[in-house]
Each structure stands twice: as C-alpha cells, then as structure tokens.
Structure 1
Amino acid sequence: MTQVRELRADAPVADRARLAPGRARLVEAALTTKRSRVRWGRRPLVIAAVFVAVTAVVVTATLLAHGHRAGRESPPAVAPGLDLNGMSARELLEYAARTVEEQPSITEPRADQWIYAKETQEGDDDADFELEKWLRYDGAELASYPRPGAEDPGELETTELNLEGLSDEYDDRSPRQMYRFLSTLPADGEGALKALREENALVDDKSLTQAGNDYTELLVLLDAYAQPPKGLAGLYRALATMPGGELVDHLVEDEAGHEAVAVRFPEPGREGEKRADEWLLDPVTFEIVGQRAIEDGEVVGGNAYVVKAVVDEAGRRP
C-alpha cells in the first residue's frame, strides 16, 4: 500500500480511453492522502493497474433483492408505450424516476454482509474482460482474486479498508452511509440538489459552476454501491436539471452485450474538448446497468454490470 501511494504521487493522469469509467471512488477513499474530487476516467494509470479489481459498482434495490442484473437472455424491448425517438433527456429521466420509485423497498443489508459484483470492462487493447469483487457493506473490507477471469484465479485476497473510520480529509462514505443518505433524499430534483449541497461530501471545484459541482456529486451517488429506489428516483430528477443532457434515440449495446437506453451529459469544465459521460439504463426496469465514456462522439471506454447481489461472506456467489 505504501508503495502504491508513492507511485501515485507522481503518476500522470491517464487518458479516458485507457481507463474504463467507474473505478475511481473506492480507490480514492482507500489510497489518497487528501480528499480529492472524484471523476471516472481521470485516475493515474498505475493505480488502475495495481488495483484493477477496484471498480465502482451500482446495486439497486431490485438487484439486491433478486441477485442479478434484472436481465433477459434475449435483447429486451423498450418499456411498452415508450418511444425514444423525439424524447428529451429530461423526459426520459422523469419516466425512469417514476419507474424505479414504484419498486418495493427491501431490507437493508447487514453491516457484515458483502456486495458481490461482476462486471465487464473494455480493456486498453479494446478487448473486454470481466472483474468480480466483494465489498463489505460497512466498508470495512474489500475482497477480490488476483487473476480475475483466469482458469485458476488464485486465492481470494482481502484488504482492510475501514472506510467509515477514515478522517474528514477523505471521502470515506461506505456503501451503508451512502445508502442511508440516499434514503433521505427528496424525490424532486431541486430538493435532491439542495440536499446534496447541504451534505457537501466533495470539496467544490472553484473552477466549475454550481451545476458543474452538482454534477460531480451526482456522479458519485449514481455509482453508489447500494441505492434505495426512491433515492435513485431523486438522483434521476436531479440529473434531469443538469445542462446539456441528450438522449440517444435508439438502444445501444453495452460492454456485456445487452441493449440499454443511453443518456449523455457533457463533462463540466472541459471547454474545447468534446467529452461526455453516458449512463446506460435497462430499457424496462430503468436501473443503471453500465457507463460509457464518449469523446468526439465515439465510445472510448465503458463498463457493464453482469451480476450484482448481497451475499453473506466474501468469495460466495449468488
């Protein structure tokens, strides 16, 4: 760990095409020596290489309950009555918010339970690869195999994190803390943004507008490890207020080969660079199932969630 910190100090920021989105927050909380802004795709390459299995994971209530990506073997159709052609990003996100907030609440995981996640990512050589990990719900430990995807992945390795015990210099929120904050999030967009600003979990970047800093806060929570349905609905409505949102008018294919609805937002504070974040939603349940990085209209990185569930011990699969 000490060697990783030393390497990180002088490491150059990697190109977005070389780092798949979504792997930043846990690395930041576990390894940095100061509280930093969290943006997917802008992490030093050496950290991504050493901790390739540390990737942000979204686990919604339905996925927690059923232990899989609410998926189907054949490509899903868009929800009945929904026509993406001509629909705005705001309209789609409101539709998604209404859909997810109708999901039943579930029992919150125990502190000693683990969130299991398996996902597909685009590699540096454009080859897809799968990762799997286990994160304790209270943020105390992370477990993964040293050779994910190999016929012999090696012995399961567990790292102590103690996210809830870090100092105020860190963004040390555990999955449990994020879940509980989202449980209190107002369902309307403006109310949700007000709550985010009062929480002020990430230090504002003075070079960004208020909307830019709001968007950065939303990035982290949209990548939260566990999301109650009503909290996710509030995030969607808050996201709908962000400037520059665009809805792709057709289904796209994510890194796992599933079709998804894509909502695209430009990166704040990136004048002169045509870069955007793209959130991928299941076309029927409207839960987040992946993310993609866009540059000059082209996909330059991405990840897709294959299996997600709560299990009782590290190493166990649903």
Structure 2
Amino acid sequence: MDEMTHVRELRAEATEPDRGRLAAGRTRLTEAALAGQRRRALWRRREFVIVAVVAAVTAVAVTVTVLLAGTTPGRKVEPAATPNADLRGLSAAQLLERAAELVEKEPDSAVPRADQWIYTLQMAEAPDPGTVKALGRAAIEQPGWIRYDGSAMASVNPVPKGQKSKLSVTKMHLENGGEGDDRSPREMYRVLDALPAGAGQTLKFLREKNAIADGKGTTRAESDYTEISVLLTAHVMPSKGLASLYRALATLPGGKVADHLVKDAAGRRVIALAYPRDGTLKSGGSMADQWLIDPQTYRIVGTRMLVDGKVVGGQSIAARAVVDKAGARG
C-alpha cells in the first residue's frame, strides 16, 4: 500500500488547514492513526506531523509563495553525507544522556511576557508525488504565531503567486482547561520549569500529574512516552527542563538512533531518533515518531512520522523567535 493511502486514512474528517481551527482536527487525525485507541490529552502535540501532511496536500489548490527544496517523497530514511558524524553503535540512552549533559549547561533566554508572541517558521514535507509535482518542491514554508498566554493564534494563509498574503488572527483560550485539550506555551513552560533533575523523579512527577489520561491497554512505558513527547514540542523550553525530559526518555525502551545524519525539510543534517507509536494503522503498518536533533546544540529541530520505515510527513523548525506582535518575525 502506498503512502498516500495511509495519508487518506489519516485525513478522514480533517478540517480546513486554518491554524485557529486545527485543535479539534489534530485530535481526530492522531486518533485515526491508531487502532481504535482513545485518550483524552490535556496537552496536544500542536505541531504533530500529520498536520503537515494534510496542509501539504491541501496546498495543491494554490501556488505557495515561498518553497524550499526537500528530498524524494515517501523515501526511506537515507544518509546525508557529512564529516564527523559517526553515530554507529550509539544507543538512544547514550545519545540522550549526552544531550542532557550539554543542554542543561545552556543559559535560558528571558521568559516571554504574557502579551508577547512566539513566531515559528516551519518547513512541512509533502510526501505525495502529485503535490511535489504541482508545487515544484517537496517542502512548504509555514509561518505561525501564538501568544504566550494562549489567547490568540495567527497565520499567513497561502495565496497565488504575485498576491499579497494576509495575516489571519484567531482569538483562542488555551489556559486553564479552555479550547478543548490544548494548552498555552506559558502552561507548558511552567510544567517544564518544575521538573526534577533526575530521570526517576521526572517520571514520577509526570505520572502523578497525569496530564494525559492513560489509554486503555497501554503499558506504563507507552504512557510515559506520550507524556514526554508532548512536552518535547513546547514552544519555550527551559534548559534544565529539557535535560530532565531527555534523561527520562533515556530510560524508556524502543528508541533507535539512525547510524547516519539525515536531511530535514529545511535542508539541515540532523540526528534522527525514532520511537515506536503504540498501536498500528488500520492497514496493519507500524508507525513511529522520529525526532530530529541538531548535532551541535542537541535541541529538537523537527519531527517526522515513519510508516513501515518510510517518511510520510514531517515538519522542521527553521526559525523561532519571541516578538511583540503577530506578523513580526524577530
């Protein structure tokens, strides 16, 4: 079965790709990818890779103004030639321990004010050959903004070439249980900032908080991974909090480090760390998250979804900045 068949399965009942209305759609898309399992997430992975797949397919209707070259759609995870990147024999635990030691020494940036916005420029991979042919490229630029207090989101809608794009701002309420299950960057930051230093203490903290209700039939390790993976997508990440997540993730089974650097949608050579997703597709295919990590800073710079070892979609963070208003880019 080809990759677009998988995508069509995941697209069922998907909303139009307006960022302000995608919160509920994200939930349906994610759940449709699993074998009937349901879980009520208090924090959703706002940049989950399936959203990128849907946006890329929908974008065929217009000519996107800015495009970046990517790699072959539906591809196997291929090496990107680069010197001094010997990852052979490196386990997921070794990689994550190394990353934790490095990032915890980094100074934190100033915490945003409640009225400030977080600008993120993402490159979304388009796995469909038809989309690539229509657009002429395999990656699509997706700028977006969210207020730190979660009270609004903004996006630039794609328009035909030559026309001026318009900024669309949508009021939201993403704190204290508002807007379904999403949470504001400020709430995510507060949880990360409160994480203990050790792996065991971090796991205990997350289990007691139980921000994501455990799915029926899931193992403790699967539930732990879901809690950690959601926090790894936070817009603002304190260094010690990220180090705590890395150390906790290092204790979980199933992680696999690619023995070579791979090229992300933004054209960078990055480390690829994969973890299997609990459940399977309706077609029986296996599914995994692939975290893309900068080999110098050990910060996460993107995510991809693998189905039977093939990349079927993903997003890479090309730029991120704290700005004073929606539409500003730092």
TM-score by length of 1: 0.76
Question: Residues 278-300 of structure 1: CA distance to partner in whole angstroms, max 9, x if unpaired?
Answer: 10100100000111111222211
Question: Residues 86-124 of structure 1: CA distance to partner in whole angstroms, max 9, x if unpaired?
Answer: 111100000011111110122210000000011100124
Alignment map for 1:1-318 (pairs within 5 Å): 14-15=8-9, 27-28=22-23, 36-37=40-41, 38=44, 40-41=48-49, 83-123=86-126, 124=128, 125-126=131-132, 127-147=138-158, 151-167=162-178, 170-270=180-280, 273-318=285-330
Which consecutive residues of structure 2, in runs of 5 or more, have no partner in the other structure?
A: 1-5, 29-37, 60-80, 133-137
Identity %, equivalent residues: 46
Within 2, Cα distance between the matches of 1:25 and 1:208? 31
* Change in CA separation of 1:92 and 1:147 when aligned onto 2, cut-off 3 Å: same
Within 1, Cα distance between the matches of 2:21 and 2:277? 21
Question: Residues 242-289 of structure 1: CA distance to partner in whole angstroms, max 9, x if unpaired?
Answer: 211111111110011100011111112339532211101001000001
Q: Which residue identity lines up with residue 292 of structure 2 in the other structure?
A: L
Deviates more, 1:268-277 or 1:279-288: 268-277
* Change in CA separation of 1:42 and 1:157 when aligned onto 2, cut-off 3 Å: closer
Deviates more, 1:303-312 or 1:266-275: 266-275
Contact 1:141 1:162 in 2 (8 A): yes
Contact 1:264 1:276 in 2 (8 A): yes
Residue-pair matches, total:
278
Within 2, Cα distance between the matches of 1:152 and 1:314? 20
Deviates more, 1:186-195 or 1:23-32: 23-32
* Change in CA separation of 1:48 and 1:26 when aligned onto 2, cut-off 3 Å: farther
SS of residue matched to 1:135: strand
For residue 307 of structure 1, report the CA deviation from its aligned partner. Answer: 0.8
SS of residue matched to 1:179: helix
For residue 154 of structure 1, report the CA deviation from its aligned partner. Answer: 2.6
* Change in CA separation of 1:46 and 1:288 when aligned onto 2, cut-off 3 Å: closer
SS of residue matched to 2:88: coil
For residue 180 of structure 1, report the CA deviation from its aligned partner. Answer: 1.0
Within 2, Cα distance between the matches of 1:25 and 1:218? 25
Which consecutive residues of structure 1, in runs of 5 or more, have no partner in the other structure?
A: 1-11, 52-74
SS of residue matched to 1:96: helix
* Change in CA separation of 1:77 and 1:316 when aligned onto 2, cut-off 3 Å: farther
For residue 155 of structure 1, report the CA deviation from its aligned partner. Answer: 2.1
State the match for 1:71 in structure 2.
none
Deviates more, 1:178-187 or 1:23-32: 23-32
* Change in CA separation of 1:113 and 1:35 when aligned onto 2, cut-off 3 Å: farther
* Change in CA separation of 1:29 and 1:98 when aligned onto 2, cut-off 3 Å: farther
RMSD between superposed Cα atoms in Å: 3.6
Deviates more, 1:173-182 or 1:145-154: 145-154
SS of residue matched to 1:104: coil
SS of residue matched to 1:217: helix
TM-score by length of 2: 0.74
Within 2, Cα distance between the matches of 1:24 and 1:274? 28
Within 2, Cα distance between the matches of 1:144 and 1:132? 6
